Structure 1
């Protein structure tokens, strides 16, 4: 999440997460470090980063924050370029859009709860052809649309499909295969009119396998691996 100071980046982060993760004030330069948080949007794991506002600064701490912003812009798979639609475009806005014009970028026009300062339809024609979403981080307007656009740009389509799914590691891939096997057993048992106890047993196994992926259940062999490979103390 990038933009100049006071465009509502931290408010946007909080609204997407639906929690008060970042401090929000009217003081320019409140965010000086990169604030990271992860969430699942329509089943897609996303790591969000709220960054310091881009501007020329003399303060040494804020200057480091701006440098971190520059680094994260280079690393990001998707940039949410946030503009304040209630004020005119600034040199910092233009500078940001120039930096990200070759990256996958979603233009976010924030503060639609306030009167627009410009004819944005005309302005957007002169900007790089980024997909654009209008939101109010303050009121939550447009956030659902924003999330859908994030998923669309991340997975390269309108919907997150099985063919685009990713298992982060071997253990989770194994758990997914076991879940599939148990669910196939449920279907077979249902077709064969097997006793409900057997169907419930297979369903429980499927749920336990899914629990391994999301962290709700931890099998003994995983615990043994943790304690044998890592030194865990107070």
Structure 2
């Protein structure tokens, strides 16, 4: 009995782990492109979107507001947000744009922090990366088709927990690897089978959490050699939760079949 219950608990736990993937598969991963002005943020957005979604010019400060577009990467819905470059400024419009950039970063699932690899590192980049804290992020060393002047080794040493990619929006170098990394934030690096069941709503997650707790209680009870009648209480509660999940009424026949091979008192 204990082995059967532990196996059921393991399967429920796996379903609960799919909740994040299910929510993202339904609502989309929110990816915000951030960085200093004129590092190629808008070009990167157009590259990922496969279209000229935002205006691109050689002049810093072209983007002054957040621009969002819905795309798909390897079949997963992704919301890409281009933002105004972050810099010290006294211009009221740029101040408002930077405020919206920071709000977008706060609400994001993942930040693509873009740097111009053809330029030497800027002290603001270090400060802005520190400000991101534990926010999931990917550092993009853009414009790798140009002669490189950035100290990539230093950036990697200072950001050991972040994935770092060299990209070019002209040659598309590194874009596929970047897309793979974005998808990795959804699947945790594991390919998802199209036939695998995925939890996709808060209600489903709550019902599974209750069923998992009931089965865990039953497993612990079996380990403590409680009587089948007492174990049946927790199993019955778990079946009720699963019945509500799939819209079916669970009958006592299932309980009888589950316990039929066990004798009371053993």
Coarse TM-score class (shorter-chain normalised):
0.5 to 0.7
Aligned to 1:30: 62
Counterpart position of 1:148 = 180
Counterpart residue number, 1:11: 43
Q: Quote the residue 1:196 is aligned against.
A: none
Q: TM-score by structure 1 length?
A: 0.67
Say if 1:7 and 1:169 are closer, same or farther in 2 by CA, change over 3 A: same
1:82 aligns with 2:114: yes
Q: Distance in 2 between matches of 1:168 and 1:37?
A: 24
Separation in 2, partners of 1:164, 1:123: 40
Equivalent residue for 2:86?
54
Aligned pairs for 1:1-234 within 5 A: 1-162=33-194, 163=196, 165=198, 167=200
CA distance in 1, matches of 2:198, 2:55: 34
Deviations 1:195-230 (A, max 9, x none): xxxxxxxxxxxxxxxxxxxxxxxxxxxxxxxxxxxx
Looking at structure 2, the residues matched to 5 and 57 of structure 1 have their Cα atoms a distance apart, in angstroms, of: 12
Higher relative contact order (CA 8 A, sep 6+): 2
By how many angstroms is 1:50 displaced? 0.2
CA distance in 2, matches of 1:164, 1:12: 34
Deviation at 1:128, TM superposition (A): 4.4
Counterparts of 1:61 and 1:68, CA distance in 2: 11
CA pair 165-146 structure 1, distance change in 2 beyond 3 A = farther
Structure 1 unaligned regions, length at least 5 = 171-234
Larger Rg: 2
Aligned length: 170
Q: TM-score, normalised by structure 2?
A: 0.60
How big is the alpha-carbon RMSD for the aligned residues of Structure 1 and Structure 2? 2.0
